[in-house]
Amino acid sequence: MTSRERMVTAMLNKQPDMVPVAPDISNMIPCRLTGKPFWDIYLYNDPPLWKAYIQAAKHFGFDGWLPSVCAQTRIRNAAIVGRTAERIYLQSYREENGKRVWAPHVTVYYVADPPTYGVPVEKIGLPRQPEQWEDFVDESEELTEEQALRAARELMGDDGVLGLHVGIPGLYNDAGIFEYYDNPNLVRDRARAYEETVEQRTREVCEMGPDFVFTGYSGCLTFQTPAIFRDLGLPSLQIITRVAKEYGLPSQVHSCGPEAKLVEIAAKESDLTSINPLERPPMGDCRLDEIKRDFGADISLMGNLHTTEVMLHGTPDLVRRESRWAIDVAAEGGGFILSTGDQCGRDTPDEKPLRHDGDGARVGEVLRNAAARSGPLPQCGLPAQPREQCAVVIDRTEGRAALRSTVHGPGPIWSRRRHSRAASRSRISHALRM
């Protein structure tokens, strides 16, 4: 199977040839690997985030998972009203009677973090009416959603899956909570009105030809109870998943934070085929072995290595043990994608598969940087050679994985004398499979 076939099969809760591996590196790590300030990606689309992600997935060699390919539009009617070595402040405006009426908030773009939207100007010491500014001229390429999907497919190839997003109503923040309790009928009416349009939107998405339909949102059960989700969001989820099923496409929900009850609702009361990231306590409430036991026959699972204790701060041996445990408790019968419990942080150590044997058993050597970097490689900003490396060697036969850990010095694994980078990259999509 290709990565694309393997991911789709697992998302349909079927048995792939081996367990797909798709850690969530949706934002920060792809930006870091470009070697550019993060505002180049988020503000200037140079490169667009979707392109940075695909390049990162290909670089690491795991199964690509790009859940929400978006239309690419230019920013209009905005100006840079402040700039430091670490931040750019962008404020929007509208024209009224020949004058600019400035928004009361700004977007803050950082040199090494994703942007913060809707920051009140007074909170960061900027005047409500800027005294000086630099008009922002967005010259990036504009793409419709369908054009962006085609462009992403051309770059991704069969090295991963691409999704398109269909939203569901719900409470997303504290303002939504207050509105729901102050005026519940208004919020319910808005949800019912959305339900009248969501089927058409889902059919339009399916006709564009994604690999799956993506829905949900961060913290679905953080800002609302399961009862409120049933009231506001479940009817739309049922419509979305029913239509996706008609088209033979997987559907997937993302909801970081508490999610165990959402797994039960989605598995028993909708046609959803896949759910992630199944965060474990204390960040979430999902215990992978129990979720698999209770709902694995009804829905495929994607998760759930801890993003800080395991991926950010963990040793290679801990990563190995946690991965093996997840596979042991959730891979039987198919319908499991080894991933992380939400997005890996910016400073998560890099892991790179380098080689693939030719006898049917795949072997990947996963390098975890443990020291400072000695300089960027062309185009990706990775170290020319880590000063210290640990490798987790993963042998795979018949779709199962036996993992063992070894430690290497700074030269042999990374040496160009032993591994041509061009040869490695040509086979990289086959190197790390479980």
Tens of pLDDT along 282-314?
999 999 999 999 999 999 999 999 999 999 999
Q: Cα(319)–Cα(330) distance, rounded to whole angstroms?
A: 16
Model pLDDT, residue 421? 31
Strand order in the sheet with 336-340: 64-66, 160-165, 212-216, 251-254, 274-276, 300-305, 336-340
Per-residue pLDDT of the chain (434 residues; tens, 9 = 90+): 999 999 999 999 999 999 999 999 999 999 999 999 999 999 999 999 999 999 999 999 999 999 999 999 999 999 999 999 999 999 999 999 999 999 999 999 999 999 999 999 999 999 999 999 999 999 999 999 999 999 999 999 999 999 999 999 999 999 999 999 999 999 999 999 999 999 999 999 999 999 999 999 999 999 999 999 999 999 999 999 999 999 999 999 999 999 999 999 999 999 999 999 999 999 999 999 999 999 999 999 999 999 999 999 998 889 889 999 999 999 999 999 999 998 999 999 886 332 223 322 232 233 222 222 222 222 223 232 232 333 333 333 333 333 322 222 222 222 222 233 333 332 223 323 33
**Mind giving me the DSSP string for 284-325?**
S---HHHHHHHHTTTSEEEEEE-IIIIIIT--HHHHHHHHHH
Model pLDDT, residue 126? 94
Q: Cα(21)–Cα(73) distance, rounded to whole angstroms?
A: 32
Question: Which helix (H) or strand (E) element contains residue 397?
Answer: strand 389-397
CB 239 within 8 A of CB 261: no
Joined tokens for residue 206: 């399916």
Report CA 148 to chain centroid distance, whole Å.
17
Report CA 137 to chain centroid distance, whole Å.
29
In residues, how long is the chain?
434
Q: Where are the domains of the chain?
A: 78-135
In this structure, are strands 274-276 and 251-254 parallel, antiparallel, or unpaired? parallel
Instruction: Give residue 299's identity as a one-letter amino acid code.
Output: I
**Which residue reads 């180049």 in tokens?**
40
Angle between helix 288-295 and 316-330 (nearest 10): 20
